[in-house]
Structure 1
Amino acid sequence: MNQILETVTNSINDLISSSIKGIPAVIFAIIILVLTRFAADFIEQVADRIGKQVIKSHSLQVLFTKTSYILAWVTGCLLAGVAAFPGLRLGDVIATLGLSSVAIGFAFQDIFKNFLAGILLLVQEPFRINDQIIVGEYEGTVESINIRTTQIITYQGERILLPNSAVFTSAVQVRTAFNYRRTDLGVGVDYNTCLPQAKTILLKTIYEMNGVLENPEPEVDLVNFGDSSIDLVVRYWTAPSQTDVRRIQSQVIMAIKQAFDQANINIPYPIRTVYNYNQQEFNDYLPSDQKEYANHS
């Protein structure tokens, strides 16, 4: 019994002794992590300055800055691990990471998928920060492209977080990809309207609008014989921003209405023609012999 108690006591003493010996190493590792935090922030600031001076693409600047920040933290954590466990060599850590990469890949495949998709979006630049895009049912302005998500702000002031993998594999409509954007505005005139005159008035009105570009030139097309009107489409180009498109469209609608009023050109309401028949004289549901009798009577 005494021998067992002695063995347990020796084991506890050895554990306490080894723990006390390991305290300086743990403290040193904690100091390394604290220094890593400041070093990572400093490296991020330096990388941001270098990226703005050397790299023209804003997306690649973001990628360079974030990569530098992550590498600084990875390096600091590895050094802290080696410092906390002196018997652990840096080569062993790297080898262990290599052996466990397959298991980690399966466990975090969605995270890695979004991470790689984010890098490809930043490198290929199908769209840029502040571009206005449509992805699926979401539309708004690109706020940032992070490691995991692409953030857009809708026109209603809401933030949408889209997984990078979904953005990368979906059809993306970039509304501000070019310096101009076309608006197609439908308008109808009644059948008594002189169509050349209406077309001339529309073109003159569009050319006089502030914000409508002269090149490409505005166009007016006759597109359809409607139920109560002859339909035209006014096509004009403006700056691509949604704010400019909506503002100028409102001004164009008001200007067209005013110009048509001055020229006495009507924009007709839907019209239905109703014919009133004598139901006794015209009855298509009676048999032929009864129809003849009804007509004679």
Structure 2
Amino acid sequence: MSELVQTINSSLLRLVAQAVEFLPSFILAIAILIITRYAVRPIRAITQTATDKVVKSPSLRSLILQIAYVTTWIAGILLACVIAFPDLGLGDIIGLLGLGSVAIGFAFQDIFKNFLAGVLLLLNEPFRLNDQIVVNDYEGTVEQINIRSIEIRTYQGERVVIPNATVFTSSIRVLTDRPYRRTDLAIGLDYNTPLPRAVQVLLMALTDVEGVLSNPSAEVDVVSFGDSSIDFVVRYWTLPQKLHVRQTQTRVMMALKEACDQANFSIPYPIRSVYLFDQQFNDSVPTASSTTPN
């Protein structure tokens, strides 16, 4: 019995000694993680200052900042692991990461897919920050381009977070890629309207409208003979942002209506002709004849 007690005591003493020996390394590892947490901000600030002077693209600057953030944390965690476990060298850690890469790849394939798509989006720059885009059923202003997702703000004020893989594999309409954008506005006039004068009046109505650009110049096309009107399309250019397009369209519609009223041009309602048919006067309908038996 005494030998068992001595064995237990020796084991406990050995565990306490190992714990005391391990405690400074453990405390130092925790300190390194805390230092890493507070070191991220100045490193990001220094990186941002350097990239602002060298890199012109906002998207590429965002990518470099995010890479600096992730790299700082990886370096801090690896250093903490090496200090906390002295027998575990850096080569052993890299070997363990290599052995677990297959399992991690299967478990986090969506995360890696979004990460790679985010890096490609930031490098290729199909759109930039503050661009207005359409992705699938979502339309709005790009607020953030992260490594995992992008964030857009819809015109109704809603925030939409879309995974980078979805954005990378979808068709994207970039509405603000150019400094101007065209709007096609349809209008129909009465068949008695003289066409050359109508084109001139509609063009003149656009000259004083706020928001309509003079270069490229506006156009008016006669496009079709409708059921109750001759159809025109007024094509004009504005700034590409949705706010300018929407407000300018309202002013253009008001100006066109006023110009048509002053020129005595009629914008007709849809007209449908109805013909009444009296079957009593239709000779083509055979009459029934009756026969009497002999």
**TM-score of Structure 1 vs Structure 2, range by shorter chain:** over 0.9
Q: Structure 2-normalised TM-score?
A: 0.94
Identical-pair percentage = 53
Residue 185 of structure 2 aligns to which amino acid in structure 1?
A: L
Residue 53 (structure 1) aligns with: 53
Moved more, 203-212 or 176-185: 203-212
Aligned CA RMSD, in angstroms, stands at 1.6
Residue 224 (structure 1) aligns with: 224
In the aligned structure 2, how far is the partner of 1:261 from the partner of 1:23?
Answer: 89
- Secondary structure of 1:160's counterpart equals strand
Could you list the per-position Cα deviations for residues 207-243 of structure 1 after superposition, in whole angstroms to 9, with x for gaps in the alignment?
A: 2222212222211111111111111100111110100
Residue 209 of structure 1 aligns to which amino acid in structure 2?
A: V
Residue 145 of structure 2 aligns to which amino acid in structure 1?
A: I
In the aligned structure 1, how far is the partner of 2:126 from the partner of 2:138?
Answer: 17
- Secondary structure of 1:184's counterpart equals strand
Residue 33 (structure 2) aligns with: 33
Residue 152 (structure 2) aligns with: 152
Residue 115 of structure 1 aligns to which amino acid in structure 2?
A: F
Residue 271 (structure 2) aligns with: 271
Q: Structure 1-normalised TM-score?
A: 0.94
Deviation at 1:260, TM superposition (A): 0.3
Residue 22 (structure 1) aligns with: 22
Map 1:241-260; keep pairs closer than 5 Å.
241-260=241-260
Residue 54 of structure 1 aligns to which amino acid in structure 2?
A: V
Answering whether residue 27 of structure 2 is matched by residue 6 of structure 1, we say no
Residue 180 (structure 2) aligns with: 180
Distance 1:283 1:99, change over 3 A: farther
Distance 1:245 1:82, change over 3 A: same
Residue 187 of structure 1 aligns to which amino acid in structure 2?
A: I
In the aligned structure 1, how far is the partner of 2:77 from the partner of 2:118?
Answer: 24
Residue 233 of structure 1 aligns to which amino acid in structure 2?
A: V
In the aligned structure 2, how far is the partner of 1:165 from the partner of 1:38?
Answer: 32
- Secondary structure of 1:232's counterpart equals strand
Residue 26 of structure 2 aligns to which amino acid in structure 1?
A: V
Residue 262 of structure 1 aligns to which amino acid in structure 2?
A: Q
In the aligned structure 2, how far is the partner of 1:8 from the partner of 1:192?
Answer: 111
After the TM superposition, list the runs of 4 or more consecutive aligned residues in structure 1 that deviate by more than 6 angstroms: none
In the aligned structure 1, how far is the partner of 2:145 from the partner of 2:29?
Answer: 33
Which ranges of structure 1 fall in alignment gaps of 5 or more residues?
A: none
Residue 139 of structure 1 aligns to which amino acid in structure 2?
A: E
In the aligned structure 2, how far is the partner of 1:70 from the partner of 1:105?
Answer: 18
In the aligned structure 1, how far is the partner of 2:195 from the partner of 2:35?
Answer: 77
Deviation at 1:91, TM superposition (A): 1.6
**For this pair of structures, how many residues does the alignment match?**
290
In the aligned structure 1, how far is the partner of 2:36 from the partner of 2:77?
Answer: 8
In the aligned structure 1, how far is the partner of 2:167 from the partner of 2:2?
Answer: 70
- Secondary structure of 2:142's counterpart equals strand
Distance 1:53 1:19, change over 3 A: same
Could you list the per-position Cα deviations for residues 230-288 of structure 1 after superposition, in whole angstroms to 9, with x for gaps in the alignment?
A: 1110011111010000111000000000000011101111111111222322387x5x3
Residue 82 (structure 2) aligns with: 82
Deviation at 1:198, TM superposition (A): 0.9
Residue 171 of structure 2 aligns to which amino acid in structure 1?
A: A
Deviation at 1:125, TM superposition (A): 0.3
Distance 1:178 1:283, change over 3 A: farther
Deviation at 1:8, TM superposition (A): 3.2
Deviation at 1:28, TM superposition (A): 0.4
In the aligned structure 2, how far is the partner of 1:63 from the partner of 1:149?
Answer: 12
- Secondary structure of 2:280's counterpart equals coil
In the aligned structure 2, how far is the partner of 1:283 from the partner of 1:123?
Answer: 80
Deviation at 1:2, TM superposition (A): 4.0
Residue 142 (structure 2) aligns with: 142
In the aligned structure 1, how far is the partner of 2:2 from the partner of 2:261?
Answer: 113
- Secondary structure of 1:212's counterpart equals coil
